[in-house]
Amino acid sequence: MARVALITGGNRGIGLGISRRLVTDGYAVSILATREEPTDVLAELRELAGSDDAVRYVRGSVAEPADHVRYVQDALDAWGRLDVLVNNAGVAPAQRADLLEATTESFDRVLGINLRGPYFLTQEFARRVVALRGALTAPPLEPVATVVNVSSISATTVSTDRGDYCVSKAGVAMATQLWAVRLAPEGIVVHEVRPGVIATDMTAGVAPKYDALLADGLAPIARWGRPADVAGAVAMLASGATPYSTGEVFHVDGGMHVPVL
């Protein structure tokens, strides 16, 4: 039986890049997203997988705990196992606003989707993995499951016109550490992938700004990142090739995080 990966927001942008990579690597993939079922995207993924049964789509929101239960149960009903959770779904503020003009409505929306949602979806996923795994007499030598949180360079890089987004991603970084420590005895490893400037529909509106910054030395690798770049990091961490590691932060930012004099 193929390994099973749950990918939130796996129908577009970075998430679609991750879905394509994991399907190509032989995973059965389930996507959670709020939009109507994207038949063209699912057809592409099923063609990559070579099977209509290897890709599922659940319409729902990562911000809704009831959808977490429905999402995980759908994968179990279809495939009977859980191996990987990729907490990828996220939003930017609907409008950028200076910290002095920021609203509680935007803050609550962004943190509900970007932080609270994946935090409690991880809880649901882990509980079900533990139930499937059964009792342990000792921690397993190899991971039984992997959680990968897709955050952002904004976890540590300040943008004062989107403070809610930065706070949400900093929270994801701490949530990764919390879950890594709590779930290690359960045989579940947890990692964070931290993208930099990635070319997606979310960043299309600010392309001229980042074109100029990249030309001016924003990152040592002076190009836009691609969803496939992020997907490669997720695939590596999910593969089980690093069984003695957890709580790691893997930057996919062209070296943007490296201090330079």
Q: Is residue 261 part of a domain?
A: no
Q: Is residue 93 part of a domain?
A: yes
Q: Is residue 242 part of a domain?
A: yes
Q: Is residue 21 part of a domain?
A: yes
Tell me the HSE value of 14 on the side-chain side, using a 13 A CA sphere: 30
| pLDDT at site 203 | 84
Catalytic residues: 165
| pLDDT at site 241 | 94
Domain of 153, CATH number, reads: 3.40.50.720
Instruction: Identify residue 131 by its one-letter amino acid code.
Output: A
| pLDDT at site 93 | 95
| pLDDT at site 109 | 98
Q: Is residue 11 part of a domain?
A: yes
Residues of the chain with pLDDT under 50: none
| pLDDT at site 206 | 84
* Residue 150 to residues 3, 71, 113, 181, Cα–Cα distance (Å): 20, 19, 13, 18
Domain count of the fold of the chain: 1
Structural domain for 245, as ranges: 4-252
